[in-house]
Amino acid sequence: MSVRLQDILKKTPQTRDRYIDFLRSFSILVVVVGHWLSAVVMKNGDGIKVYNAVGMISGLWIITWILQVMPLFFFVGGFSNSRTLNALKDKGQPLNVFYKKRAIRLLKPTIVFLIFWIFIAILLILFLPDWRKYSIAIIATVGPLWFLVVYLFVTIIAPFMLKLHKIYKILIPVLFLILTAIVDIFRFRFNIPGIAWFNVGFVWLFVHQLGFFYEDGTLINIQRWQKFIIALIGLIGLIILTNIGVYPRSMIGTGFEKISNMNPPTMCIIMLSLWLTGLAMLLREEINKWLNRTNPWILVILANRTIMTLYLWHLTAYSIAFFLLYQIGLGYHTTDNIGIWWLERPIWIILPGMIVFGFIKIFGKFEQSPKIKER
């Protein structure tokens, strides 16, 4: 164990909420592995097409009700932003300190990633006459940036939203829920598709706002049956919404349904967020016992140190793995033979994992390692 890691372990305060660190690393790791497992990439004369196995294999949509964990990341973001803002206020430090901290952590590794892909795009345009055939694959590879844009938005207005939370409490997320429902009604009932993009703000601000209730102790201190009710409301809401003939059952975009519940988000993501938040609160006590042990906590620390780098580069790693494995006959993905498709899955975890580890070694230094503080 490195000296630095030993120091981090020793400096971890007893009051630190380790569960938040776990949820952050868990949610991103699930997203990364989920992308590697579910990607169905096909190459032919028309170029490269990227599909999602959830839309191709019957019944696979059910796993998205557990493994579409992006709401948990925004939930964690609400907690972290609230904790940091409150700590800075207690110390009498100005608001620009908050923005500087968040900008360094989010933008520094992102700018490096963008420079790399701008350079690659220029090379492809200059030296690959039929580069347009591969534009969809390139767009899919830089897909992680959508999340960062939205997360940056909710972070920028976090100080204002925290003030509203302290005054109006539960009324704020209720308002966002109602606004999301209104947008969906106008979108589907009155056939106004463009209005759907308002939900990018309403839905993710709803989830971010839930994180404030965790930070102020509300979600921790409520009774276990109340946490169960939150999860149950979300689950029942999902069941009802996905059976009225409007919303698809999958909580991710697969390219096979008429609409996606994620892009732009719908009321289903509101219900998913309640389901996952309630579930997370129910599991908190047991997982915290596990995190109080040295080895699990070390794993969480290691995962969080370069979590943004992992997220940014994981699809680039997958793309490289695809072109390498394609040369030996493993690059043609098809679900015509489900058995063979499933048997290949470990390969599409191991090789991208090795490649992304290399990216972390190279680019991880551009990500500010999180310091252990009371937050």
In a domain, 374, yes or no: no
Average pLDDT, the chain: 89
On whether the pTM is more than 0.85, the answer is yes
- Stretch 170-186: mean pLDDT, rounded? 98
- Stretch 270-284: mean pLDDT, rounded? 98
Tokens of 105: 């952590």
Residue 127: give the domain boundaries. Answer: 3-366
- Over residues 342-371, the pLDDT tens digits come to 788 899 899 999 999 999 999 998 885 444
H or E, element range at 103: helix 95-127
Inform me whether the pLDDT recorded for 5 exceeds 90.
no
The distance of Cα 6 from the centroid of its chain, to the nearest Å, equals 29
- Over residues 27-77, the pLDDT tens digits come to 999 999 999 988 887 766 666 777 788 988 889 999 999 999 999 999 999
> Domain total for the chain?
1
Inform me whether the pLDDT recorded for 374 exceeds 50.
no
User: What confidence tier does 325 reach under pLDDT thresholds 50, 70, 90?
Assistant: confident
Measured between alpha carbons, how far is residue 322 from residues 201, 294, 338, 339, 347 in Å? Answer: 34, 37, 19, 20, 10
Inform me whether the pLDDT recorded for 3 exceeds 80.
no
- Stretch 101-121: mean pLDDT, rounded? 90
User: What confidence tier does 15 reach under pLDDT thresholds 50, 70, 90?
Assistant: low
Q: What is the 3-state secondary structure (H, E, C) of 147-205?
A: HHHHHHHHHHCHHHHHHHHHHHCCHHHHHHHHHHHHHHHHHHCCCCHHHHHHHHHHHHH
In a domain, 60, yes or no: yes
Tokens of 172: 């704020």
Comparing 234 with 147, the larger pLDDT belongs to: 234
User: What confidence tier does 328 reach under pLDDT thresholds 50, 70, 90?
Assistant: confident
In a domain, 108, yes or no: yes
In a domain, 371, yes or no: no
In a domain, 373, yes or no: no
- pLDDT for res 327: 74
In a domain, 104, yes or no: yes
Inform me whether the pLDDT recorded for 341 exceeds 80.
no
Report yes or no: 17 and 82 within 8 Å, Cβ to Cβ. no
In a domain, 372, yes or no: no
- Over residues 187-244, the pLDDT tens digits come to 999 999 999 999 999 999 999 999 999 999 999 999 999 999 999 999 999 999 999 9
